[in-house]
């Protein structure tokens, strides 16, 4: 049996040695442990002994050659013995280690500090079979499993256990701190993630999943963002809506007699202000658990602007005539449209005329800090039962809605307020 004589590891850090002189020639009979060659390490002149008895078949390196630890020095044709050569647990090194030739970078990553080229000059040590290169020869999945098998008390196997347990429990709701941070940053809630596909263990939504989710689509403009925030804050209250139709024929005639030809919005604002001024509990702002009753009825009017809605405030509406109100509102809206909002807060209610969009019925949301919003729907022809003639007349009608913060007052008060508003709208000479 032909056996190799390999260069031993002489000293803890020795990597190589130079062949100095052969002490046995090819063809010579050697005994086990006979010294057959002299080599020079960094530290000392050492001799290598034959591992078995036999005849020296061949030198593998001539004097002057530098060999790495583990390289073959010579071949011995061994005398058959039951004993196997002693190598003390070191497996033969895999043949032809192609990567990591000195001086050739093995694919540096884009490192900011620069991957030093010396990293790649380091060779695989003559270590046991758990070296990376051995794994490379197996399939990729072997890489994980065998490492897991061999790892005992470093506690890292538990991570996989935890993840798989979670999957078994069907709990994809685990939110990591980083996912939470991303949600906060984008103003999202966990419930917003209901449709986000999770790629983590057990279907967990990872930070990467959320980041991908929020990066899709276009960013909202600042105006849109502001409206979104206001709507979020507004929606957090208990809101309810009451509605009634209002006959608009009288109003439509009346407006032709007023300077400026006030729109339905103006009539709505005036009616709302007068109705509130009669002592409605809605003529106040909710301040925690306290009700703040202002001295004047200030109303906000919703104005579409770019991709959002502005809500400038008009002061003392209950004291302004329809003509005055028309003029003031026009001015306020013009200012708002140029980005100059004089009064942006403190109103007690708002008016939203979505009827201009042909919407007949809607439940607009009261603005943050306000308890009430009056919604005006589109005017359209409707049948009107005439009890005197017992026939259907045609009239012009619109739905008006009152959406209110139910913490301030209840449906009765809302209904009474709406009744007063409608009464004023159907009898415009009272305004």
Partner 1 sequence: MRLQRQEPAERLVKYLEAIRLALGELLEHDPRVFLYGQDIAGTFGGAFKATKGLAERFPTRVLNAPISEDAITGIAIGAAQEGLVPIIEFQFADFASIAFNQLVNHAATMHWRTGQTCPMVARLPVGGTPGGGPFHSQMVEGWLTHHPGLVVVAPSTVADAYFLLKDAATCTDPVVFCEHKYLYYHLAADFDPRRAEHLPMGRAAIRRSGTDCTVVSWSGMVHEALKAAEVLAGEHEIECEVIDLRCLRPLDADTILESVARTGRLVVATESWPFGGVTAEILAVVASEAFQHLDAPPQRLAALDTPIPFHPALFAAHHPDAARIAALVLETVSF
Instruction: Looking at residues 164 to 203 of the shown chain, list those that interact with partner 1 (rule: CB under 8 A).
Output: 176-181, 200-201
- Nearest to residue 374, comparing CAs of 399, 406, 354, 351? 351
35 token code pair: 């010294």
* Residue 425 DSSP one-character state: H
- Whole-angstrom Cα distance, residue 346 to residue 172? 45
Q: What is the CA radius of gyration of the chain?
A: 44
Shortest spacing between CB 6 and partner 1, in angstroms: 14
Q: How many CB atoms lie within 10 A of CB 4?
A: 15
Q: What is the number of alpha carbons within 13 Å of residue 65 lying toward its C-beta?
A: 16
By CB under 8 A, residue 106 contacts partner 1: yes
Only segment of 205-213, 253-261, 298-306, 323-331 that touches partner 1 (CB under 8 A): 205-213
Q: How many residues bind partner 1 (CB under 8 A)?
A: 76
Helices (H) and strands (E) in the chain, counts: 10, 19
Rounded alpha-carbon distances, angstroms, from residue 136 to 131, 132, 146, 149, 336: 9, 6, 12, 17, 69
Quick one: which of 107, 217, 238, 288 contacts partner 1 (CB under 8 A)?
Answer: 107
Q: Is 118 left (phi over 0), alpha (psi -120 to 50) or beta?
A: alpha
**C-alpha dihedral (253, 258, 262, 264), degrees to nearest 10:** -30
Shortest spacing between CB 162 and partner 1, in angstroms: 8
Quick one: which of 4, 9, 55, 360 contacts partner 1 (CB under 8 A)?
Answer: 9
Residues counted in the chain:
431
Shortest spacing between CB 270 and partner 1, in angstroms: 52
By CB under 8 A, residue 219 contacts partner 1: no
Shortest spacing between CB 19 and partner 1, in angstroms: 13
Q: Which is nearer to partner 1, 180 or 357 (CB)?
A: 180
Q: Which is nearer to partner 1, 198 or 260 (CB)?
A: 198
Q: Supply the angle between the helices 411-426 and 264-277 in degrees, to the nearest 10.
A: 130
Quick one: which of 64, 82, 110, 217 contacts partner 1 (CB under 8 A)?
Answer: 110
By CB under 8 A, residue 207 contacts partner 1: yes
3-state secondary structure of 172: coil
Shortest spacing between CB 121 and partner 1, in angstroms: 5
- Whole-angstrom Cα distance, residue 184 to residue 178? 10
* Interface characters, 63-92, with partner 1 (x: CB under 8 A): ---xxx--x----------------xxx--
Instruction: Looking at residues 265 to 324 of the shown chain, list those that interact with partner 1 (rule: CB under 8 A).
Output: none
Contacts of 216 (CB under 8 A, 6+ apart): none
DSSP for 247-297, please give it. E-HHHHHHGGGSTT---HHHHHHHHHHHHHHTT-TTSSEEETTEEE--SS-
- Whole-angstrom Cα distance, residue 412 to residue 404? 12
Instruction: Looking at residues 347 to 386 of the shown chain, list those that interact with partner 1 (rule: CB under 8 A).
Output: none
Only segment of 100-108, 314-322, 388-396, 398-406 that touches partner 1 (CB under 8 A): 100-108
Shortest spacing between CB 119 and partner 1, in angstroms: 5
- Whole-angstrom Cα distance, residue 383 to residue 393? 6
Shortest spacing between CB 17 and partner 1, in angstroms: 11
By CB under 8 A, residue 43 contacts partner 1: yes
Instruction: Looking at residues 111 to 150 of the shown chain, list those that interact with partner 1 (rule: CB under 8 A).
Output: 111-119, 121-132, 135-136, 140, 143-144, 146-148, 150
Q: Which is nearer to partner 1, 7 or 284 (CB)?
A: 7
Q: Which is nearer to partner 1, 162 or 340 (CB)?
A: 162
By CB under 8 A, residue 389 contacts partner 1: no
Q: Which is nearer to partner 1, 119 or 169 (CB)?
A: 119
């Amino acid at each position: 049996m032909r056996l190799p004589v390999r260069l031993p590891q002489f000293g803890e850090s020795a990597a190589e040695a130079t062949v100095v002189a052969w002490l046995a020639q090819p063809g010579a009979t050697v005994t086990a442990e006979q010294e057959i060659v002299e080599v020079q390490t960094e530290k000392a002149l050492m001799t290598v002994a034959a591992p078995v008895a036999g005849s020296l078949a061949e030198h593998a390196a001539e004097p002057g050659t530098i060999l790495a630890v583990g390289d073959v020095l010579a071949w011995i044709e061994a005398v058959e013995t039951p004993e196997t050569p002693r190598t003390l647990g070191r497996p033969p090194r895999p043949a032809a280690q192609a990567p990591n030739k000195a001086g050739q970078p093995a694919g540096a990553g884009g490192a900011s500090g620069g991957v030093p080229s010396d990293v790649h000059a380091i060779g695989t040590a003559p270590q046991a079979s758990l070296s990376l290169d051995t794994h490379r020869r197996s399939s990729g999945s072997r890489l994980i499993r065998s490492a897991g098998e061999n790892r005992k008390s470093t506690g890292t196997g538990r991570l996989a256990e935890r993840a798989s347990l979670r999957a078994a429990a069907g709990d994809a709701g685990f939110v990591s701190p980083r996912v939470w941070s991303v949600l906060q940053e984008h103003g999202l809630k966990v419930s917003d993630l209901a449709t986000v596909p999770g790629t983590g263990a057990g279907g967990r939504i990872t930070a990467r999943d959320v980041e991908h989710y929020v990066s899709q689509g276009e960013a909202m403009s600042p105006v849109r963002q502001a409206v979104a925030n206001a709507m979020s804050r507004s929606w957090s209250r208990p809101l309810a809506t009451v509605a009634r139709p209002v006959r608009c024929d009288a109003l439509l005639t009346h407006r032709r007699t007023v300077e400026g030809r006030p729109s339905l919005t103006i009539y709505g604002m005036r009616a709302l202000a007068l109705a509130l001024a009669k002592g409605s509990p809605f003529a106040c702002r909710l301040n925690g658990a306290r009700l703040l009753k202002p001295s004047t009825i200030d109303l906000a009017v919703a104005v579409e602007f770019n991709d959002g809605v502005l809500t400038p405030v008009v002061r003392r509406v209950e004291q302004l005539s329809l003509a005055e109100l028309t003029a003031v509102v026009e001015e306020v809206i013009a200012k708002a449209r140029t980005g100059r909002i004089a009064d942006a807060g403190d109103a007690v209610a708002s008016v939203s005329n979505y009827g201009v969009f042909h919407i007949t019925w809607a439940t607009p949301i009261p603005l943050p800090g306000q308890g009430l919003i009056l919604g005006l729907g589109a005017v359209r022809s409707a049948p009107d039962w005439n009890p005197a003639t017992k026939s259907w007349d045609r009239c012009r009608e619109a739905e008006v809605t009152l959406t209110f913060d139910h913490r301030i007052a209840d449906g009765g008060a809302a209904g009474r307020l709406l009744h007063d508003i409608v009464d004023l709208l159907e009898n415009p000479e009272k305004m």
